[in-house]
Structure 1
Amino acid sequence: MSTLMELPTTSPASSPSSGSEPVWIVPLHDHPPYGHVRLKRVFTTDGTRHQVVLVDARKLIACADRDDTDYVLRPVQEWHGGKLRGIREFLDPSSTRIPQMPYVTITTRRAPGLLGVLRLEHEGVVAFRNGQHRARYMMAAGAVWFPVEVHEREAALLRQYCGASDDARTALRPTSTEASGAPRARP
């Protein structure tokens, strides 16, 4: 069974000491070049008002496809070869550089149909501030869930509309990076 590795809390007080930073290992189930990607937080300074939320990849992309205000990418299968090669190299876990996780914002709007018109049903709308290529590529490569960063005031809403299942959340194991940049599992 594949696991996603993350710190169980995003509190600055619980950050690892000695300069190491948390690393999330995201399994890719349909990606022959490599079987996982590594991601790190976007906001790492003390007192950050951002949280890491584990999301269901399909739910997140469905909410992102509803965004009519920002740049929304075409499906990965329609990307040209150079773009595919570039994102594959960017996410390659053998690189010493660890990419940042996607950074998103979420709002709601009335859902289509009668219940939406009556203001009884709403749907989530996700906008990427960074990492849309990463998110879409990881989902196409077989990632079922992965971490994203969001402002703390939007974290509950993101969990409501895009949150990963309990199965995904129970498979977490914390890791950190050592001085070499390689992930190290914590007891």
Structure 2
Amino acid sequence: MSSPASSVVPSGAEPVWIVPLPEHGWYDHVRLKRVFGAAGTRHQVVLVDMRKLLVCADRDNTDYVLKPVNEWHSGKVRGIREFLDPENERIPEMPYVTVTKRRAPGLFGWLGLDHEGVVAFRNGQHRTRYLAEAGARWMPVEVHEREAVLLREVCGAPDDARTALRPDPGAN
């Protein structure tokens, strides 16, 4: 946990990612665990830049895209805040996404020269938008292994944040 970005902390048998929240008044971090943590899973954890991820998610015209957090009703905000509270015994799962690339709007897209990433949430869109509003700059998400390279390409966090995900060898 030496980095101010995100870090991995062993918790029993499975790692737990710590995501700092510099602009949150209720707590200063959240803990997240993998969705598909079993050995042999065909999913990977990718550390994403929140801004890039939400830009790509807002392009999704096939799934439900949420309104900004400040437009949610107070019960929804309170519920997600309580769900993510690091004092809870239960550790929430990180968001699970899929990613594709499509032609970008405009002439260069029409000609097939310009493309853009599109992210769809399978789970965790409320978490993601709440954490972005709370000031998270990076967070881990889970994606199928065949989409991991593309997700890093279109939404990947800076190298210093990715490095912070390496488990601390002295923590075991």
TMscore range, shorter length:
over 0.9
Residue 41 (structure 2) aligns with: 48
**Do the aligned residues in 1 keep the contact of 2:5 with 2:138 (CA within 8 Å)?**
no
**Secondary structure of the structure 2 residue equivalent to 1:106:** strand
Percent identity among equivalent residues?
Answer: 72
Normalising to structure 2: TM-score of the pair?
Answer: 0.93
Matches of 1:94 and 1:173 in 2, distance apart? 24
Task: Count matched residues.
Answer: 169
Residue 4 (structure 2) aligns with: 2
Residue 127 (structure 1) aligns with: 120
Q: What 5-or-longer segments of structure 1 have no aligned partner?
A: 8-15, 176-184
| AA of the residue aligned to 2:171 | R
**Do the aligned residues in 1 keep the contact of 2:34 with 2:94 (CA within 8 Å)?**
yes
Matches of 1:171 and 1:150 in 2, distance apart? 19
CA 1:19/1:168 → structure 2, altered by over 3 Å: closer, same or farther? closer
Matches of 1:19 and 1:87 in 2, distance apart? 25
Residue 78 (structure 2) aligns with: 85
Q: What 5-or-longer segments of structure 2 have no aligned partner?
A: none
Matches of 1:83 and 1:155 in 2, distance apart? 31
1:67-146 aligned within 5 A:
67-146=60-139
Residue 13 (structure 1) aligns with: none
| AA of the residue aligned to 2:7 | M
How far has the Cα of 1:19 moved from its partner? 5.2
Matches of 2:132 and 2:171 in 1, distance apart? 27
| AA of the residue aligned to 2:88 | S
How far has the Cα of 1:173 moved from its partner? 4.7
| AA of the residue aligned to 1:4 | S
Matches of 1:47 and 1:63 in 2, distance apart? 29
Matches of 2:116 and 2:47 in 1, distance apart? 19
| AA of the residue aligned to 2:118 | V
Normalising to structure 1: TM-score of the pair?
Answer: 0.86
Instruction: State the 4+ residue runs in structure 1 displaced beyond 6 angstroms.
Output: none
CA RMSD after TM alignment: 1.7
